[in-house]
Chain A
Amino acid sequence: MEKFTTLTAVAAPMDRPNIDTDQLLPARFLRRPRDEGFGDVLFIDQRQNDDGTPNPDFVLNQDAYKDARIIVADRNFGGGSSREGAPWALLDYGIRCVVASSFGDIFYNNSLKNGLLPVRLSDDDVKAIRQQLHDKPGATLTVDLDAQTLTAPDGGIHSFDIEPFRKQSLLKGLDDVGMTLEREEDIAAFENGYRERRPWLFADA
């Protein structure tokens, strides 16, 4: 996983609530191998017209946002399916941080495991920040993970919460499995007790 420390980058506003994972990455691309990348199909059905030409109305296609690495959305970003292709598509496209007032829980977890930082702010804050981005297209935000702050174009500083466990993994670029395997003794001890308490789960049909 790629580390996340600080990021200053152009932010693109997306006003619609409920930007779900099917919009982020339509199901027809789900079976692509991970190393083929998903950046070219992020939001594909909105980015492109039916004839394959770019849709000029779509925010990421506009000149001011062509270097966007942050998205500021509304509520329930990434709701829907568990497809990890959704954060992969964002990352492969170049997005490292999404700001919203709420996220789909599974999307939120998947993002953290891949180096994409989801930042939760209040409804009013995301709205105000989007307004600033609309007023000054191409404006940048600064996200400092260690300090847990986001600096808006107007200089306003917003603090955000993140699990300490996840924060450390992101700062260091660690994945879970290595860490968990070091707990093998704990898992084995638990498993022995569990097997005794709930033997039917391990019995063959």
Chain B
Amino acid sequence: MSDKTLFEKIWSDHEVLTTEDGFTLLYIGRHLAHDGSGHAFGFLEKRGLKVRRPELTFATPDHGVPTTSHKVDDITDPVQKRAVTTLTRNAAKHNVTLFDLGDPRQGIVHVVGPEQGITLPGQTMVCGDSHTSTHGALGALAFGIGASDVFHVLATQTTWQRKPNKMRITVDGERPFGVTAKDIILAIIAHIGANGAARHVVEYAGAAIRALSIEERLTVCNMSIEAGARAGMIAPDDTTFAYVEGRPYAPKGKHWEMALDHWRTLPTEADATFDRDVTLDASTFAPMVTWGTSPEDALPVTGTVPDPANESDPERRRAMQETLDYIGLAPGTKLEDVPVDQVFIGSCTNSRIEDLRAAAEIAKLGKAKVPAMISPGSTAVKLQAEEEGLDEVFRKAGFDWRQSGCSMCVGMNGDLVASGKRCASTSNRNFPGRQGKGARTHLMSPAMAAAAALTGHFTDVRELARKG
């Protein structure tokens, strides 16, 4: 049977062998490392093994780096400092390409990969980080793995995987004014659930997906993991090729032509079938915010906090009540009335230049009423934004313009949300404790987060933008 889907075509192209009971040894075209890769390098050394293909691994520190300074000496937490310097040492020792602190190519690993042309259509890609699903936006098969698997990839350039099932999420129609890629993916997760795509590789299709820019596609694929998907991907097209061409690590000359010939064969055939198909209509979407502690707890900003009393299953009712206790919201509260204590714009979901432009458009309209912080996804994004004068726009509006890194998405660098505080965040996880112990996180788009900064509460960005 010949392969019909984007996913199967890439899978077959990387299959070293498949055992009798259906386990595949899959070759890995690109591996990304970061300051969390220390365990895996440590396992490698403990076993006395070498990196098999150093030219296929690229590294940059992101999780624990400060956003106030990019000097190693300014990292105050000794644990994070050790993680960053260990990455520097491991990269040098194993001959791995590193974009270290101070390098203009440094940034969040999932922003840097596409930006530098390291992420390419048609290849397998892994990283010791669940948001590796991001890279599927370019038509790669990209997924997160744990430290033992990273060690395995370093040592063998392969990973053992059972072939996942195939799921297609088709988003038809045209998205209305004010609806961003973040709203599309939050609407999808709210619809299928936080484990709705478990054990599946998702292909996003349909007119509304095709119409997205590459940066918007990156946002959609980024949160595939929040629906439990093994990976998320979008078939490469002319938008993709135009994005990739000319990037530092993208193929050049004769190789570019060869690559392009191959990439054009990748999209899913018209008669392909999927194990699961879900179809949504983008024209019904609205700007979204989350009200709970799972990304599936997302509603249009015009909605109200749901009432556990309406839940018939007693266990679910209790779970929902616990969620509301943690997040500190009463049932029936209008989301637009929910006040915020602070705002974070950043993370591998929403920190690219288009995100910052969208946030700046809103920031122009007023002054921040609550502390608002912006951490660009990479140093390159930061420099570009500064060239465009966005940093000035933000500063004028009272936003705090920082350096790039994971920052308040996960708080490992000390950019934390205090216990009980409510943060409007463009990141991807509103889990209990994600942004700090007791922190209350509400996910939304960059424009919505900027709007919340200006008003001090969740705000329908469509209203704000219309009023101008």
Contacts and interface: CB of A to CB of B under 8 A. Distances in A.
A103 interface: yes
Interface stretch (B177-185, B247-255, B395-403, B448-456): B247-255
Contacts, number: 191
B21 interface: yes
B4 to A, nearest CB: 20
Contacts of A81: 129-130, 144, 429
A187 B25 CA distance: 9
A158 to B, nearest CB: 19
Contact of B42 (A33, A164, A199): A33
B458 interface: no
B152 A84 contact: no
Contact of B149 (A79, A113, A202): A113
B72 interface: no
Contacts of A18: 194-195, 293-294, 296
Nearest to A87: B146
Interface string B393-419: 000000000000000001110000001
A177 interface: yes
B258 interface: yes
Contacts of B434: 22, 27
Interface string A181-205: 1010011001100100111111111
Contact of B38 (A31, A113, A197, A203): A31
A165 B123 contact: no
A177 B156 contact: yes
A197 B261 CA distance: 12
Question: What bracket does the count of chain A residues touching chain B fall in?
Answer: 35 or more
A15 interface: yes
A181 B42 CA distance: 18
A109 interface: yes
A110 B146 contact: yes
A153 interface: no
Contacts of B412: 27-28, 30-31
A31 B146 contact: no
Nearest to A22: B431
Contacts of B410: 27
Given A16-B319, A84-B146, A181-B155, A31 B23 contact: no
Interface string B170-194: 0000000000000000000000011
Contacts of B29: 198, 201
A204 B79 CA distance: 34
B23 A45 contact: no
A122 B147 CA distance: 29
A102 interface: yes
Closest 6 CB pairs of A and B: A200-B251, A110-B146, A84-B146, A76-B195, A200-B255, A82-B144
Given A26-B437, A106-B145, 18 more contacts: A16-B319, A23-B432, A26-B433, A31-B36, A31-B38, A45-B437, A79-B228, A81-B129, A82-B132, A106-B130, A177-B155, A177-B156, A194-B13, A200-B251, A201-B29, A201-B30, A203-B252, A205-B117
11 contacts: A26-B437, A27-B434, A30-B36, A50-B419, A106-B145, A176-B152, A183-B25, A190-B27, A201-B30, A205-B248, A205-B249
Interface of A: 15-18, 20, 22-23, 26-28, 30-34, 45, 50, 74-76, 79-84, 87, 102-106, 109-110, 113-114, 127, 163-165, 175-177, 180-181, 183, 186-187, 190-191, 194, 197-205
